[in-house]
A and B are shown apart, each in its own frame.
Chain A
Amino acid sequence: MSLSLFLSKMGTNFNYVVAITLFTIGLYAVVAKNNLIKKFIGLNIMETSCFLLYISMGAVKGGRAPIWTEGMKKTTLFVNPIPQALILTGIVVAVSTTSLALSLMIKIYEHCGTLDAEKLKRMETE
């Protein structure tokens, strides 16, 4: 594939490119940051980026939101509703994971007095 074709495809799929950029930024926070809360903010960024990918996947140029109102015909162009329905579930899963992780952090801080991954690792080996 030639470079110009690659770039033009990146242009049409710009939302997807942004989504994976956010995914990488979030992954950076998860992998490289030491603070556990920061890690989890990074994980939330990753999750929302994944949702952005889904919603962009379902988008249609000039499409309307998939809700029937007065004056709509069968030929009206709608966006794809399935990714939206899936992401509703995804958001719930994300907030559930976050709440569990945060309560674990409260407990860890109570026991260890720090939320720094390096220090915690040292404590664990001692």
Chain B
Amino acid sequence: MKRALVFFSLLLCFGIMLIAVVNMPPMGDPKSMMMTGPPGRAPIPRYLSEGRQEAGAENIITDIILNYRGYDTNGEVTVIFTALMAVLAVLNRERKNVSYCDIETSPVKRSVVVYTIVRIMLPFILLFSLYVILFGEVGPGGGFQGGTIIAAAAIIFILIFGYSQGMERFPTTWRMNFEGIAPLTFIAMGIIGLFLGRNYLTFMFPGFSHASNLLLARSMLMIIEIGIGAGGAFIFTSIFFAMQREDKS
């Protein structure tokens, strides 16, 4: 009975959505409403043709997420910060000197091959993540992706070298200061516009030549990318720590 009900409702859901997607504009059409838009008010042609000149980055997606729709990304970094705080509300923060870990007490011996390979690979992973962060303006990538890769490297390090080493390298009190850095960088860069007589999150100011304005915008975008990267890395590492070394008080 219950199975039939579930099956029927899923079928209904599928059918309704099918009607919707079949009636959507055909896929891959370069002349669709989305691409051309209403004359004079279409965002896409403007982004594609002017984005490099007025927003400051070759990668148009970076232009959109950090400049045109920067407020959304401001919300987005707040979401990851909220996620960390939510995890800390459910689980407590890990505590120093509380031995509660699986790998250090695990009966499986640590393999020399894994140990060595990780040791060799880690600097390269970090280098790659720095590349992803810093070249987010001219190629694919950006702060969040790079930050996640840094966090992944940190997680690998903790998994292979054990938690006590991880705690030594990334102590809680030190991590705590940097967890909110992503929204804070965003807000700091956004506020600058307010002082120079423009709106929040403006990167182009009056009284400068176009070239210097572009340089200014690029460097501000770069700072934001680094901030998001650092924030993302710290937040994911902290979530991992909180989930692994949960403190049973």
Inter-chain contacts of A110 with B (CB < 8 A): 248
Among A67, A82, A93, contact of B43 (Cβ-Cβ < 8 Å): A82
Q: In A70-84, which residues have CB < 8 Å from any B CB?
A: 74, 77-78, 80-82, 84
Instruction: Report whether A61 and B83 are in contact in the complex, using a CB–CB cutoff of 8 Å.
Output: no
Among A20, A80, A93, A97, contact of B14 (Cβ-Cβ < 8 Å): A20
Identify the interface centre among A24, A32, A81, A95: most chain B CB within 10 Å of its CB: A81
Instruction: Report whether A31 and B27 are in contact in the complex, using a CB–CB cutoff of 8 Å.
Output: no
Cα A107 to Cα B239 with chains together (Å): 14
Q: In B1-20, which residues have CB < 8 Å from any A CB?
A: 3, 6, 9-10, 13-14, 17-18
**Does chain B have a CB within 8 A of A2?**
no
**Does chain A have a CB within 8 A of B133?**
no
Chain A: CB-nearest residue to B23: A9
Q: In B29-83, which residues have CB < 8 Å from any A CB?
A: 29-30, 34-35, 43-44, 47-49, 52, 58-61, 64-65, 69, 72-73, 75-76, 79-80, 82-83
Q: In A25-77, which residues have CB < 8 Å from any B CB?
A: 27-28, 31-32, 53, 56-63, 65-69, 74, 77
Cα A126 to Cα B14 with chains together (Å): 37
Inter-chain contacts of B76 with A (CB < 8 A): 88-89, 92-93
Interface membership of chain B positions 118-150, coded 1 if the CB is closer than 8 angstroms to chain A and 0 otherwise: 000000000000000000001110101000000
Instruction: Report whether B80 and A96 are in contact in the complex, using a CB–CB cutoff of 8 Å.
Output: yes
Cα A75 to Cα B181 with chains together (Å): 40
**Does chain A have a CB within 8 A of B104?**
no
Instruction: Report whether B82 and A96 are in contact in the complex, using a CB–CB cutoff of 8 Å.
Output: yes
Inter-chain contacts of B144 with A (CB < 8 A): 88, 92
Given that A85-B69, A107-B90 are contacting pairs, would A78 and B48 also be in contact in the complex, using a CB cutoff of 8 Å? yes
Given that A103-B91, A107-B90 are contacting pairs, would A13 and B27 also be in contact in the complex, using a CB cutoff of 8 Å? yes
Interchain residue pairs A-B with the least CB separation, the first 10 = A96-B83, A16-B21, A61-B28, A66-B60, A85-B64, A20-B17, A68-B58, A89-B76, A100-B86, A24-B14
Q: Would you give 21 A-B contacts (Cβ < 8 Å), ordered by A? A: A6-B22, A13-B22, A13-B24, A16-B24, A27-B10, A31-B10, A56-B27, A61-B30, A63-B28, A66-B47, A67-B58, A67-B60, A68-B60, A77-B30, A81-B61, A82-B44, A88-B76, A92-B144, A93-B76, A96-B79, A97-B83
